[in-house]
Structures are given as C-alpha cells and as structure tokens.
A and B are shown apart, each in its own frame.
Chain A
Amino acid sequence: MTALDVAGTVRHIRHQLAVRRRLVTLALLALLALTFAAALYLGDYYVPPGEVVRSLLSPFTGLVDKGIDFIVLNVRLPRATLAVLTGMSLALSGIIFQTLLRNPLASPDIIGISHGASASAVFCIIALGLSGIAVSLGALLGAILTALLIYALSWRDGVTAYRVVLIGIGMAAIMSAVMSYLFTRARLFEVQQALGWLVGSLNASGSDDIAVMAGALALLLPATALLARALDAMQLGDDTATALGARVEAVRLGLMVVGVANAAFATAAVGPVTFVAFVAGPIARNLLAGSGRGFAQAAIVGALVMLGSDLVAQHALPKVQLPVGVVTGVFGAGFLLWLLVVSNRAGKVN
C-alpha cells in the first residue's frame, strides 16, 4: 500500500467515527425535542399541539388566550426549560468527574459534593429558618466549600483520583450525619420542609432560577469545551499526558472547578436530584461506542433524563405528583443494575 492509501484508510476510519458521533447526537436531539414538546402539551389540562405553537408565538403575533397561555408560558415552559438546563449541567458535572477520576462511580452525587450542598441547604432551612433563593445560595456555597475541603484533604504532592473518590465518599457520610443530626433537633414541619428540598423537585421553577442557570451555563459550557480537549491526552494517564504536552495539574484543577460549579448551580436550583449526573456519561459513551469523548451527548442525555423523569413524576400515578428526585432515583438504580447484569454476562467489569 502506498503512503497515500494508508493515509486514506486512516481518514476513512476517522470519518466513520465522526458519522456515528453525529448520528447519535442528532438522534438524541430529536428525542429531546419530542420530549420537550410532550412536556408542553401533557398535563392535567391537555393542550393540543396547535395551541402550544400558537401560545409560544403569542408574544410576537398578539394572538392571546390568557388561560392557555398561562399554563404553557408560565408553568410548563419554565419547568421544561429548567429541567433541560439543570439536566445538562448535572450530566456535564458527572462526565467530567467520571473521566477525570477514571471511575464510573465518581459522580458528584457519590463523592460528596451534592451531600455538601444538601447539608448546607438543610442547615439553612432548619437552623437559620431560610427559604427560597436564600436556601439555593446556601446550597451553592455548601457545594463549593465541600469541594474545596475534599480537594484540600486529597492533596498530597498533587491529587490522585483514588484519594478524591474515597475522601469524597467519606465526606458524603459526614454530611449525611450532619443532616441526620439536624433532623433530630428540628421541629417536624421544618424537617418536612427540608425533606421536600432534599428530594429534588422542579415545582418551584421560576424565571429567576432559569436566568441563573442560563447565565451559569453560558460561562461553564465554553469552559468545559475548552478544557475537554485536554482530556484526550489526560485519559491516557498522567505520564503519557505530560509526555504529550498537557499541563496535567492545571487542567485537572480547571476541570474540577467546572465540574463542581455545574453540580453546585444545578443542585442549588432544583435540589440534589440523584443519578442524573451518574448515568448520563455511561449512557452517552455506550451509544457512541468509542466514537467520541461524549460530553455533548452526555449533556443531551442528562436533559432527557431530567425532562423524562419529570414527566413520569407528574403523570405516572393518578392524582399524585411525585418529586422528580424519586423517579430519577428509581430509574437510575434500575439502569445501574441492568448495566451490572449486562456487563457481568459479558465478563467485563465497568
């Protein structure tokens, strides 16, 4: 084979991988669009698709129907939008940590960052008697402080994946203990309020939440994209990455900051919705089968999981509105068990 033929083969392989990548992304986007549409017309009051479109266009066309517009524009649209934004955010956080720490278990829900946000929120609700946006701010602060603490405690001539995961798990247990303690010290209605926050819910989706999330993502998405490139080298191990010219410690720190920020903002907005961060990365990677890093795809999967779970939470049981966190918890656990069974049969450990 001539040199040109060989280069052609290489180009062909890369092309095939790119095709698969694009197909997967398009399919996921289509699914997301469908789910988003469903979120707008499903509900106690069924709004036909035609009406949904009219309602969405009403600020421009002036064709208004106050009742329907309220439901679509003031209730369902914000809720669905927030679901998509927080789903993306959580998914990115998950895949960043899972890739950095080379461990599928290393999701912010497991390595203590969500627990830090939760403990802080519970503290705000029970000890400080706060509610609403003040609690969200508390949660944000809690996530950041916990992440700093985990990083500081893992640092010993640099940070290893192993230490971060373990200290994170320990931190999760400590935060759980703090919350349990606060629960025994509070009055029942305060505990109920805290539990309501803890279980994760899109009920209070206001334009403030959306504005904050959108603003945060506007910064975090480009930052993630820039840093993700370095992961191509860092995935190969610290030594090989350095050999390829990647600035390993700096990139790792940057990615952790972005990962924590993503988790912190999402958790502050809707509470610690379990498993979205955990499953998005593995699902995306599974679909891509080696044809890409998976970040963009994971973000879409995260949005899908959040939105889909919220739909199920609202409509699955008659007369009962479950919080979205309950549905993601059960779904995520099922997914994980399936993954375990499937990889067990193949003899391959994740």
Chain B
Amino acid sequence: MANAPASAATSREAALAFGLLCLVAAVLLVAFLSITVGARPMTLETVWSALAAFNPGSTEHRIVWDLRLPRTAIGLAVGAALGLSGAVLQGATRNPLADPSILGIHSGAAVLVVLGVAVFGITQLSLYVWLGFIGAGVAMLVVYAVASLGREGATPIKLALAGAAVTAAMQSVTSAILLTSPRTLDEIRFWQVGSLAGRDMAIFVQVAPFLAIGAVLALATGRMLDGLSMGEDVARALGQDVGRSRAIAGLAAVILAGAATAAAGPIAFVGLTVPHMARAMTGPNYRWILPYSMLLAAILLVGADIIGRIIAPPGEVQVGIVTAFLGAPVFIALVRRRKLATL
C-alpha cells in the first residue's frame, strides 16, 4: 500500500513529461504555420523547398528566408523569454501579478531607446537592441535595489511601489523628449507597441546569446523557486539562501525580459498570464511551471503574430496589440477567480 502514492507521483510526472512533448510539437506546428501564413499565401511544397533547397531567384523563397523565418524565430525566442521571465518573477516575488512591466523593464528600455534616437540619431534596429537592453537592466536593478533596502527585503508591495515610481519618472522623461523631437516620436511610436515586423536575422543573432544564457539560468532556478514559494522563513529553515535565490532569479528575469523587450519592443500580458496557464496545467511545482511557461508563451506569441497578420489585410496588427486584447480578458478572469492568492 505504501507504493500507491509513489506510483501516483510517477504517473503524474510521466503525464507532465508527455504534456511537455506535446507542447514541443505544438511549437513546431505553430512555427510552421507562421512560415506558411501571410499576406502572400504559400503552399506547403513552396515552403518545404525553400527550407530544403533554397533558390535565391525565387521571390517566395526569399520571403521565407528573409521575412518569415527570422520573424518566426524571433517570435518564438521572445515569447519563450517573456514567459520564462514572468514565471521566474512570480515565483521569486510570490506575487501572482508580477510581470516585467511592473519592475520598470519596459519603461527603462523605452527611455534609453528614445534617448538614443533623439540624441544620437540612432535608427538601426540592431542598435536599439543594445540600448533597450541596457535601459531595462539598469531600471530593474534600480527598482530591485530600492525595494530591497530595509529589513524585509524586496516584498511584493515594495517592488510594485518601486516599480511604479521608477516607471513614472522614466515615462516623464520619455514624454518630454518625445514632445521636443517629432522625428523621434515618429520612430518610436512603432517600436513602442511591440512588434515582430521588420526584424531580420541579425536581430535574432544579437539577442540569442542573452536569451540562451537567461533561459539556462531561469530553468535552473526551479528548485529555488519551489523553496521560496513556501515563504522566506520556511525556506531558510530548510537551508535555502533566500537572498541569493532572489538575486539569481532577478538576474535571469532581467536578462530575459530585457533582451526580449529590446528585440521586439514592450509586449504586455504575456509574462503575466502565461505562468498562470502553465500552473493550471502542471500544479505548483516550478520545475514544471518554468518549461511549460516557456513553451506556452512561445506558442501564444507566434500565434498572436499570425492572428495579427491575417486579421486586417492588407496591413497587419502588431503583436503587442493582439496580446493585449487576448491577454486582458484572461487577466481579468484570473483576478475574478476566488482562489487567487493575495498580494
């Protein structure tokens, strides 16, 4: 009889592992859809031949390689990064509504990008990426540092407060600069909305290392997050170094979210809602929540991008808008659920 719980646990693990495989398959499927679907419809054979036997002369092959493949790759990477980042933040801060935008990451990236465009006349997207990344990193460090002062460390309320403060200050500066430079405004208003359009492979290559490092770091924090989820006192009693765990988690989150925002602009709601969906499937164990969040977010982001491409022909709706409109109802439904833990 003592074996019964053990076998129940193993079968649960097996089910979760199987689910993970299904998600991987779904990722491949949605990636494929992303390459196939678009303003210029293509057949499966065209896509296959573009991938397998590239012909530089064919416009369609060029579209696949120069436009859709990079777009899909970046979409998957950015989605995965946002999902992971949100999950790590929620676990580390025990705040079910933590999200990169709460910690000033989006506004930090924005202010530096705006400065770069206005002051240094930077127009290349690949250079935006560096600016955005640095801005996001600095903002989050400031927020985290301020919120950590004092005995209790960075509690959810203090983080949210510090994030709100830093965000507001940076938004003021951003608005002031934009008001004085119409040229910058014209550039930024498209970046600001969060989009995968116009990004080529160079961008992907730029952010990929950061995303990879961030992802490895994040996935490694699974056990630490499980510990933190029981509360600091219990975690310490079990021998965990709470400060160090939070620092590593924070670092992973900022690398991921910073790089993602730098590549695609600020995209809201993904980091916020996907971890909840993952948790609904996997239960409270972070070793599973993290990879599920990563894959689910990748699928959702690329899916949102596909929707954006087909919903308003001949133009397209940026992915940041689609995620907002899809994510908001989910978020509201989440808040209305009785069992949501308090801040």
Q: Which residues of the other chain, B, contact A184 by a CB distance below 8 angstroms?
A: 189-190, 193, 318
Judge if A70 is at the interface, Cβ distance under 8 Å: no
Decide if A325 touches B146 in the complex (CB within 8 Å).
no
**With A195-B185, A336-B164, A340-B162 known to touch, is A156 a contact of B336 (CB < 8 Å)?**
yes
Decide if A195 touches B269 in the complex (CB within 8 Å).
no
Decide if B185 touches A191 in the complex (CB within 8 Å).
yes
**With A323-B179, A326-B172, A333-B172 known to touch, is A169 a contact of B332 (CB < 8 Å)?**
no
Q: Which residues of the other chain, A, contact B45 by a CB distance below 8 angstroms?
A: none
Which residue of A104, A326, A340, A346 is within 8 Å of B176 (Cβ)? A326
Judge if B72 is at the interface, Cβ distance under 8 Å: no
Decide if B324 touches A337 in the complex (CB within 8 Å).
no
**With A153-B336, A173-B268 known to touch, is A191 a contact of B189 (CB < 8 Å)?**
yes
Q: Which residues of the other chain, A, contact B320 by a CB distance below 8 angstroms?
A: 177, 180
User: Which residues 91-106 in A have Cβ within 8 Å of B in the complex?
Assistant: 104-105
Decide if A170 touches B190 in the complex (CB within 8 Å).
no
**With A191-B185, A340-B146 known to touch, is A173 a contact of B328 (CB < 8 Å)?**
yes
Judge if A77 is at the interface, Cβ distance under 8 Å: no
Q: How far is the CA of A114 from the CA of B219 in the complex (A)?
A: 38
Judge if B202 is at the interface, Cβ distance under 8 Å: no
Query: How many whole Å from A102's CB to the nearest CB in chain B?
Result: 12
User: Which residues 155-191 in B have Cβ within 8 Å of A in the complex?
Assistant: 155, 157-158, 160-162, 164-166, 168-169, 171-173, 175-176, 178-179, 182, 185-186, 189-190
Q: Which residues of the other chain, B, contact A167 by a CB distance below 8 angstroms?
A: 332, 335
Decide if A176 touches B165 in the complex (CB within 8 Å).
no
Decide if A174 touches B185 in the complex (CB within 8 Å).
no
Query: How many whole Å from B268's CB to the nearest CB in chain A?
Result: 5
Which residue of A174, A196, A328, A341 is within 8 Å of B149 (Cβ)? A341
Q: How far is the CA of A195 from the CA of B172 in the complex (A)?
A: 12
Q: Which residues of the other chain, A, contact B182 by a CB distance below 8 angstroms?
A: 188, 192
Judge if B32 is at the interface, Cβ distance under 8 Å: no
Judge if B5 is at the interface, Cβ distance under 8 Å: no
Query: How many whole Å from B310's CB to the nearest CB in chain A?
Result: 17
Q: Which residues of the other chain, A, contact B160 by a CB distance below 8 angstroms?
A: 105
Judge if B3 is at the interface, Cβ distance under 8 Å: no
Decide if B335 touches A188 in the complex (CB within 8 Å).
no
In chain A, what residue has the closest Cβ to B153?
A344
Judge if B201 is at the interface, Cβ distance under 8 Å: no
Query: How many whole Å from B277's CB to the nearest CB in chain A?
Result: 16
Judge if A334 is at the interface, Cβ distance under 8 Å: yes
In chain B, what residue has the closest Cβ to A332?
B168
Q: How far is the CA of A147 from the CA of B325 in the complex (A)?
A: 19
Judge if A1 is at the interface, Cβ distance under 8 Å: no
Q: Which residues of the other chain, A, contact B155 by a CB distance below 8 angstroms?
A: 349
Query: How many whole Å from B320's CB to the nearest CB in chain A?
Result: 7
Decide if B335 touches A192 in the complex (CB within 8 Å).
no
* Most chain B CB atoms below 10 A, which of A167, A177, A326, A346: A177
Judge if B221 is at the interface, Cβ distance under 8 Å: no
Label chain B's interface by main secondary structure.
helix
Decide if A192 touches B185 in the complex (CB within 8 Å).
yes
* Most chain B CB atoms below 10 A, which of A156, A180, A181, A345: A180
Q: How far is the CA of A317 from the CA of B282 in the complex (A)?
A: 56
Judge if A322 is at the interface, Cβ distance under 8 Å: yes
Q: Which residues of the other chain, A, contact B194 by a CB distance below 8 angstroms?
A: 180
Q: Which residues of the other chain, A, contact B172 by a CB distance below 8 angstroms?
A: 274, 325-330, 333
Query: How many whole Å from B74's CB to the nearest CB in chain A?
Result: 19
Decide if B324 touches A333 in the complex (CB within 8 Å).
no
Which residue of B164, B166, B193, B336 is within 8 Å of A181 (Cβ)? B193
**With A337-B146, A344-B150 known to touch, is A166 a contact of B335 (CB < 8 Å)?**
yes
Query: How many whole Å from A15's CB to the nearest CB in chain B?
Result: 36
**With A170-B328, A349-B158 known to touch, is A183 a contact of B150 (CB < 8 Å)?**
no
Q: Which residues of the other chain, A, contact B161 by a CB distance below 8 angstroms?
A: 104-105, 336, 340, 350
8 closest A-B pairs by beta carbon, nearest first, are: A344-B150, A329-B172, A177-B324, A333-B169, A336-B165, A344-B149, A180-B193, A183-B189
Interface residues of A (CB under 8 A from B): 104-105, 110, 153-154, 156, 162-163, 166-167, 169-170, 173-174, 176-177, 180-181, 183-184, 188, 191-192, 195-196, 198-199, 274-275, 322-323, 325-330, 332-334, 336-337, 340-341, 343-347, 349-350
CB pairs A–B below 8 angstroms (26 shown):
A110-B164, A163-B336, A169-B97, A170-B335, A173-B101, A173-B269, A174-B324, A176-B324, A177-B320, A177-B325, A180-B193, A180-B320, A180-B321, A184-B189, A184-B318, A196-B179, A199-B175, A199-B179, A326-B173, A329-B175, A332-B165, A332-B168, A333-B169, A336-B164, A340-B158, A343-B150
Q: A180-B194, A183-B192 are in contact. List 12 more A-B contacts (CB 8 A).
A: A153-B336, A170-B331, A173-B328, A177-B193, A181-B317, A181-B321, A191-B185, A330-B169, A332-B165, A336-B161, A337-B165, A344-B151
